[in-house]
Chains A and B, each alone.
Chain A
Amino acid sequence: MAPKEHTVWQGTLSLMILRTLVTMGEQHGYGIARRIEQTSDGRLSINYGTIYPALLKLEQEGLITSAWGVSDNNRKAKFYKLTKAGRRQIDRDTRQWEATSAIMTRFLVGNEE
């Protein structure tokens, strides 16, 4: 693994997928994977394959739905889109993430008081 690249923490991939779907609307698995890579400025390297188990889990939890459709290049592809529950989940996860990272930051920076 190249030193500059970062691995994906367990659980954060789900949130990334959900956020990607917010910004891009309906999207297929390949598109989502590409988008995540681009958003991280190439600093994040994921095996595209790992995105599918995560998608299946989200779908089973009712946070996203999927349907076959046609891509921009006229190819058959499976498109994912957020459900209402998915949107609510993003808010919740985001808050939680912010809280967690705030705490982590404090630890790493050191207690200033």
Chain B
Amino acid sequence: MRRAVQRALRRAIGFLGSDSAERDFAAELDSHLEMHVADNIRAGMTPDQARRDAAMKMGSVAAVAESQREQRGLPRLESVVQDVRYALRGLGRRPGFAAACIATLALGIGINSAIFSVVNGVLLAPLPYARPDRLISIWTRHPEVHTDLSPMSVANALDLRRMVTAVGQLEALQANLIPATLVVNGEAVPAQGVLMTGGMFSLLGREPLLGRSLRDGDRLDRIVLSHAFWRRQFSGDTSIIGRTVGEGARAVTIVGVMPKEFVFPYPSMLRAPVSFTSSAEVDFWAALPDPSLPAAAATARQDVDRAARLYAIVARLEDDRNLEEARADVAVRWQQLAQAYPDVNAGWETVVVPLHDQAAAPVRSTMLLLMSGVGVVLLIACVNVANLLLARSVARQRELALRAALGAGRARLLQQTLIESLVLSGAGAAAGLLFARWATPLLVSLAPPATPRLSEIGTDWSVVIFAATISVLCGLVVGLVPGLGASRVALRTTIDAGVRTASDNRRRLRGVLVAVEVGLAVVLTVGAGLLVRSFVNVLAVDPGFASENLLTLGLNVPARHDSGEKRIEFLRQLFARLESVPGVVSVGGVTRLPLGGANSTTQVAVEGRVPPEGQWPEADFRRALRHYFETMGIPLSRGRLFDQRDRAGAPAVVVVNETFARRMFGDEDPIGRQIRLGASSPVRQAEIIGIVGDLRHRRLDTPPAAEVYVHYLQAPPVAPLVVVRTSSDAARLAPAIRAAARDVDAAPMPYNVRTMADLRATSMLDRRFLMGLVMAFGVLALVLAAVGVYGVMSLVVAERRREIGIRLALGAAPRGLVALVVGQALTLAIVGGLCGGIVAMAISPLIASQLYGVSATDPITLAGVMTLLGVVALVASWLPARRVMRVDAVTTLRSD
């Protein structure tokens, strides 16, 4: 080993000073010959004889010198340069061939680079925080009642902060965005905020653009604005720092503005990270006062209530600790907390996840799928180019044989073939990168807008390195296949016979390539087919409500309505005004819209069998306003809906959905039963009066969850979402409804005015994106495979021209010969297709999580794809096979 290194080092040095070494060696050979000649003369030869004998004994000086030269320097750099030049000349002479190869590789490498840019931006690149690899998030989970990741109470969080030693800094943020209203220039503006402990910004290590960021000890009324909100509402006015907006108890002071690219939290770090279609734009950040301070009355309830699981945790690992140690440490401390507070903590366990994984979680499977998809496209492109090179190497067989006869070794011939393919793939990579620069922004614009870290996608050095790497790999693959065949040339037969046909060996190789290509195309097309079927299935899903002619808008109750009665009065006026708009059928409202991207939950328990507080199951929690169920078209199954009787002071009542009824009561009748609700609900105990139909809240492809509704008259909300059923196209009525809403008592601006149909379409954007891309890859794969089959079969026909001529002359029917060629292609396609089908089945788990209503091994899709590929192969081989008909036996036989 050491010896080899030493030798390599000397060779490298020798390479640098090769001129003097060359002279030195020449001198050594001269001295050798002189000594030999002198000895020979001494032994009695004539000078002439002596010289001849010495030269003969020496052997070929040129060969020795060459061997010496090769050993002395680095591996044949001169010959490499020579081969590159040769390859360029050769390609220049056949521009059509070169263009076909380069274009195919450019396409393959280009889309791979473009997809890699996206994957790199959203999945691989480190989070834009200080030393992001040391950041972790901490969640809790209950193996039975709450299997998803759950936030924890601020009291537990602060205890963990005190107890855990494996992390340095530990901060908490409320895992829901908080709707608020800021008064800007007398105008009430809805805004979404994040409430978090004061040290969060310093933990993330990000500085504000203007003013200061938040810190421990800040009061709740100090806020930091997002760059986008500042630009939108304050036109980027730098003098707002220190300004107080709003009045009275609701006044807040703006202390800073964060930079444009700052994002925190990513939606996937919030509660119930369901998908990346849930948009969560943060307008401001506010510091949660330290609950241990007496001044923090507002959060005192949460401090006491360990069951209110509202806070997500972000922490930084100590420099000398790793993730596993942190996991163990957190788990041990949590055990202590579970013993100290068994009512709420027993049975729960902690989950520690790197913050990066947490942020990227929703897109990981999509990104991996896309990456695999383009990988397959690249493979097919490589096979096509390998086929082209193979065809060319047949044409060059004589040249290669001649070179071998003149003394070129097998390695040398292989080197030359490889260098040619590397030149091709290098050119392909360059063109591919240009393509990627164009395609990446296109991909970003097509991607669902709520994809985490979409703004961080760009073509940077890692993309260039990626492209370079795959281009070298492509070059090697593409070059080795025909190269290995070519270097094994049977010299004499080739030169003598002047053959123009491929050897058996090569024919077999070509067949394998065609089969591989078809197989790969099958794999990709099966994936695309499954995604299309899933998309169609999701389109057909009944969401549980009627989404046509439905307008939704957010509308915050103005801050001055600071009691329940005042809020109810405001809402009463608002609904009356909206109902008076011509074309409006009915009006209602809810605190979380289905497919709206947000959710909130509460713990529930059935009176009479209440488990310890920590064991209460969770249900989705909503407040229903006015005629919510009627407006949405959510059917009533049993009992009754809310009405005016269910007001403040009357017995508290709830409506639940069917899933709730089934899960909590089984076969019992829930109507009239009392349930208890958790700390996050304003109503803590209520009677069930009705059961309504299930609806798809999170996504169309997610099964319904248990839901419990309270009535707005008994629990008036501050930030309801209004739904309006219209008699015709909801979008057309939007301006009138918006204007009517503003009529009421100086109401704030409605926000997020959207039709339900639009929300529904948006909820499918990620699915559409994935399906669209994989479908495009599938089509590309089909086209490439068709081109490959066509090319090979054309070649086969050209090569067998002579044979065909003879057969025709002997009386074979042209039709039969066409069938022969097509049959050969179909056999290859069937073998390849079957192998591809098997591979597709084998890797089906990869795509399973993206499917809906169709099995990853769906036989119909598979059969459909096989048939499609069969037809493609049939057409692609029939076109060249037709040429058999035009073969003229006499001229063909004469020509050779």
Contacts and interface: CB of A to CB of B under 8 A. Distances in A.
Main SS at interface, chain A: helix
B813 interface: no
A60 B11 contact: yes
A109 B511 CA distance: 50
Contact of A52 (B11, B14, B25, B27): B25
B35 A75 contact: yes
B411 to A, nearest CB: 16
Contacts of A48: 32, 36, 57-59
Given A48-B32, A52-B28, A75-B35, A60 B64 contact: no
Interface string A28-40: 1111001000000
Given A49-B59, A50-B64, A62-B3, A78 B71 contact: no
Contacts of A28: 31-32, 35
A62 B8 CA distance: 11
Interface size class of B (residues with CB under 8 A): 20 to 34
B31 A76 contact: yes
Contacts of B59: 47-50
Interface in B10-29: 10-11, 14, 24-25, 27-29
Contacts of A49: 58-61, 63-64
Nearest to A76: B31
Contacts of A78: 24, 27-28, 31
Contact of B6 (A31, A61, A71): A61
A62 B2 CA distance: 10
A73 interface: yes
Contacts of B24: 78
A29 B28 contact: yes
Interface string B78-98: 000000000000000000000
Contacts of B542: none
A88 B72 CA distance: 24
Contacts of A62: 3, 6
Interface residues of A, number: 23
B31 A77 contact: yes
B34 interface: yes
Contacts, number: 72
Contacts of A30: 31-32, 35-36
Given A47-B57, A47-B58, A61-B3, A52 B64 contact: yes
B10 A60 contact: yes
Which of B6, B14, B32, B59 has most A Cβ within 10 Å? B32
B68 interface: yes
A57 interface: yes
Contacts of B38: 73, 75
Contacts of A77: 28, 31-32, 35
Interface string A15-39: 0000000000000111100100000
A57 B39 CA distance: 27
Interface string B32-53: 1011101100000000000000
A57 B34 contact: no
Interface in A62-80: 62, 71, 73, 75-78
Nearest to B3: A61
Nearest to A89: B3
A49 B65 CA distance: 9
Contacts of A52: 25, 28-29, 64, 68
Nearest to B10: A60
A71 B6 CA distance: 30
B6 A53 contact: no
28 contacts: A28-B32, A28-B35, A29-B28, A30-B31, A30-B32, A30-B36, A47-B58, A47-B59, A48-B32, A48-B57, A48-B59, A49-B58, A49-B59, A49-B60, A49-B63, A50-B64, A52-B25, A52-B68, A53-B64, A53-B68, A56-B72, A59-B10, A60-B71, A61-B3, A71-B35, A73-B38, A75-B31, A78-B28
Q: Which 10 residue pairs are nearest across A and B when measured between Cβ atoms?
A: A47-B59, A49-B64, A49-B59, A60-B10, A60-B7, A30-B32, A77-B31, A53-B67, A30-B35, A78-B28
Given A49-B64, A53-B68, A76-B31, 8 more contacts: A29-B28, A30-B31, A30-B32, A47-B58, A49-B61, A60-B11, A60-B71, A75-B34
Interface of A: 28-31, 34, 47-50, 52-53, 56-57, 59-62, 71, 73, 75-78
